[in-house]
Amino acid sequence: MSEEMVFQISVPTDEEGFVLLECPLCGELFKLNPSDYQDDSVFVVYCPACGLVSDSYVTNDVIELGLAMAENYANDLIMKELKKFEKKIKGSISFKVSKKPNRKPELPVMLTIEAFEKKIYPCCKKEVKLKPILKMSGSYCPYCGVMDYGFE
């Protein structure tokens, strides 16, 4: 069993191509354009709400889906092995694999229906989508970490 597990999880983008991200430190949701943050010049992304840098801004939905897929995959492997074993010993003793482990639902990652407002930070001239309240109260530029007060 040395197969490498590769799970493709498709994360939907909104109609303008923004991806929903979640700060693991403060739980704030925001949206960035993948073509911006996957740029080679962008090494870190600052959370617009707490201003801290995290390794990953993957949302809970994506994590749950990944875990469900991994668990289902592992269960499938176990079942496959048990079935082989069942065949091998047929006729000698009775051994039947009957109970299939419950499969975890693999729910597609949904787009959030929460309203986001677009903000262009004057420092980096990049577009970010924030919750209206965060936009109003001031936020950190995800690309350089500079605090920008809500005025435009």
Strands across the sheet containing 19-22: 19-22, 29-32, 127-130, 117-120
In the complex, minimum distance from the CB of residue 44 to Zn ion, in angstroms, rounded to a whole number: 12
* CA dihedral for 114, 28, 12, 107, sign (positive or negative): negative
- Please give the structure tokens belonging to residue 46: 């600052």
Closest approach of Cβ 27 to Zn ion, in Å?
7
Q: Which of residues 28 and 61 has its CB atom nearest to Zn ion in the complex?
A: 28
Does position 50 bind Zn ion by CB under 5 A? Answer: yes
Q: How far is CA 37 from CA 50, 79, 113, 140, in A?
A: 18, 41, 23, 15
Q: Which is nearer to Zn ion, 70 or 146 (CB)?
A: 146
Q: In whole angstroms, how close is the CB of 126 to Zn ion at the nearest point?
A: 7
| Interface stretch with Zn ion, choices 5-13, 79-87, 111-119, 137-145 (CB under 5 A) | 137-145
Residue 49 interacts with Zn ion (CB under 5 A): yes or no: yes
The residue from 7, 12, 16, 26 that contacts Zn ion (CB under 5 A) is 26
Element (H, E) at 80: helix 60-88
